[in-house]
Structure 1
Amino acid sequence: MEAEKNTTSNNNAVNVPRLEPTEKDQNSQKRDDIDARIARIDFRCSGCYMHELVHYFGREPPFALGIRYKEDNYVLRDPFQPPPQAGRPVPEYYISMGSKCSSCLKIVCKSSGCSFYYTATFCVPCGKSKLKDWPVDAQTRFRKQLSANQSD
């Protein structure tokens, strides 16, 4: 009797069609993964006019696990890193390209010739105008950055 049950269940298993992803589903999944890796957000620095397409604008890039910026940033996935394996959330390398000046809202890159960070990002012209309002330590760092950029 037990032998009959085993053969019956084996026969039913053969007759039940397996739900396998179709080729169309697999191609769609691959396209979604590829699309997520295509940079589509335009980043153009108002200081040096560097232009790049980036993957993310905001405070928590989904591909940089555990990272939360204090302000919105333009973030680029590392273009030299291979894509992570599908289905495994792993932190990826990334490059923070820049952000908006907290005073005039112009987009600036992280280059020392274009921006300065003190509690928020400032473009160099706004940094010069706000300099007197900052603590002496921040003023010293900003002046040092300016003099290093002038000697280049």
Structure 2
Amino acid sequence: MTGTRPRDELLGELGERVIDSFRYLQREVTVPHPGLIHVTRSEADIMRIIMEEPGTTVTEIARAFGQHKSNTSARIAALVEKGLAEKGTAEGDGREVRVYATKQAVANLAGYRRVWAEHLAPLSSADDTRLQVAVEVLGEIAEALAAESRRGAPQQADSGV
């Protein structure tokens, strides 16, 4: 009989597995696929933020990555040129630029979800029930991490991983 491993051990391994998987799946958005718009890794990071937080300011995006605002602005300009992002200003305050994902960005993400599904399908024997649980657990963690980030929770020290 094998016992259940401690929660902290399981969560630690889950984090490691997410990072291991991410680096392979992230690569898919940086290479051309027919009918899809590929982006750089930095642009993909920005897209995740603006899809999660529509109307995020350029300053907030730059701060999230520890980048200079000018570097972030250049990446956003590239996303606008690709048709994946659009810029606007806050009502009542035209000084701060806000960034939004376009309908084309939403369609592009749906296309990449299909690419990821095709890539992952032959790699997992999990049935639909196990996949649903995995999606729910990872979704809960992702939402909590995003909320923590929005609150400005202190980041953990870089472990060098």
TM-score by length of 2: 0.23
Q: Which of structures 1 and 2 has the larger relative contact order (alpha carbons within 8 angstroms, sep 6+)?
A: 2
Larger radius of gyration: 1
TM-score by length of 1: 0.24
Larger strand fraction of residues: 1
